Amino acid sequence: EWDLTNDHFAHMYRAGDPLKPIESHLYLRYDCRTNTLYVLVLAEEGVEVLEQPDDAFVKLGTTTKLVDGNDSPPDGTPPDFEWITDNGTTGWEASASLAPGIYSNLNVHVQVFDDDESQTSAVADRAILLDIRCETGGTPDIRVEKTPLDDNITPPITIEYEYQVCNPGDVPLSNVTVTDNTCSPLVFQGGDDSPANGALDPGETWLYTCSYYFTGPSSPRTCVVNEVTAQGDYDGQTVKDEHPGVVHCAAPPEGGIQVLKTADLEHACPNQKVLYRYEVSSLGDSALSNVTVHDDTCGPLIGPDGDDNFDGRLDPGETWVYICRYRVRGREANPLENRVIALGDALEDGEVVASFTDRHPGILQIVPCRKVEFVPEPATLLLTATGLAGLAGYASVTIRRRRHH
């Protein structure tokens, strides 16, 4: 099946002149396993393709023919050619043998009927750049991320974990296993869908879950630290990745102050900004003065918002809100653990009679993110021919369009 968005390679102009109307379109794919170039030409809506075999061709320059309409009917062996007919002839599809390499003179041509007469439709200047590259061997890779759904608990409790296993490499992985040194069994939830073949394909992410019943200890500390390991095989190589999961046991608030810290993201990429939110409440019967909130990683905190009577005191029933924005550098420990501390004083006749403190952790998973760039024309368009090459080979096809003045 052709992808008319991602497989589009070039416009085809009247007489091959980019200043004249576009009358058809060129689509390309390449199979690295067989060194086969696949070509699709479709006319613009309202334009009819003329079935003239000598004028429907793929050439290098003007003399080296790769395939034309005389290679019809198709027999499954390149060169192959077939007209596309749907309420008239709308294009043609072909295949040709072509080794990987750089070709500066790809010439694709078709004869069409437009504006009440026969017209030539061809790629710009009848010579565009075709750069075919096939990677041999490939680079296997695997990444695993583990997330506890609640990272601040009071045991005994069942901790629910989620796991994401992805393939950032360029070859499929077989015999994929995911194990946790504390929690089992891991239950596969899905993700093997592009295609569903039992292999962790490039760009795929598989999802797992696991439930772990934790009985204690209950004292406030980092009370559960466990690790997940994912591994897979490709061509005799085994790749693996490990990632920890950290859960804190909640500390009851001391006296009359409580701070809760949340983040707008559970996972963040390097250079991504995370928004932390802090809610500070007075739990006792007395207002608290000299309230301070400090985060050991993020600063400065903005706030507070919520001092309803503007008296500068954290009154009973009030909740003050602070925020802080933190840019992930990518060099932090992973997961990134940081803590907030809130302090407040109870006063009588202007004298401090009691001081209260509360702490709350925050845990952020840092994940690698693949960089995607979009560039405008005239520029370079990269097409990965995974649809044809399947899992056995990958190609990139490059076109560089010329500037026109």
Extents of the domains making up the chain:
8-134+373-400, 139-250, 253-368
Q: What is the pLDDT of residue 219?
A: 54
139-250 and 253-368 have identical folds = yes
**Predicted TM-score of the model (pTM):** 0.42
Q: What is the pLDDT of residue 59?
A: 96
Domain made up of 139-250: CATH architecture: Sandwich (2.60)
pLDDT tens-digit series, residues 233-250: 988 889 999 988 777 776
Q: What is the pLDDT of residue 379?
A: 31
Q: Which residues of the chain have pLDDT under 70?
A: 135-137, 194-195, 217-222, 250-255, 368-405
- Cβ contact 354:345 at 8 Å: yes
Beta-carbon contacts of 196 under 8 Å, excluding residues fewer than 6 positions away, are: none
Q: What is the pLDDT of residue 293?
A: 95
Beta-carbon contacts of 334 under 8 Å, excluding residues fewer than 6 positions away, are: 243, 244, 365, 366
Beta-carbon contacts of 391 under 8 Å, excluding residues fewer than 6 positions away, are: 171, 172, 197, 199, 201
Q: What is the pLDDT of residue 150?
A: 78
Superfamily of domain covering 253-368:
Immunoglobulins (2.60.40.10)
pLDDT tens-digit series, residues 100-159: 888 989 999 999 999 999 999 999 999 998 888 776 667 899 999 888 887 777 788 899
Q: How many CA atoms lie within 13 A of 387 on its CB side?
A: 13
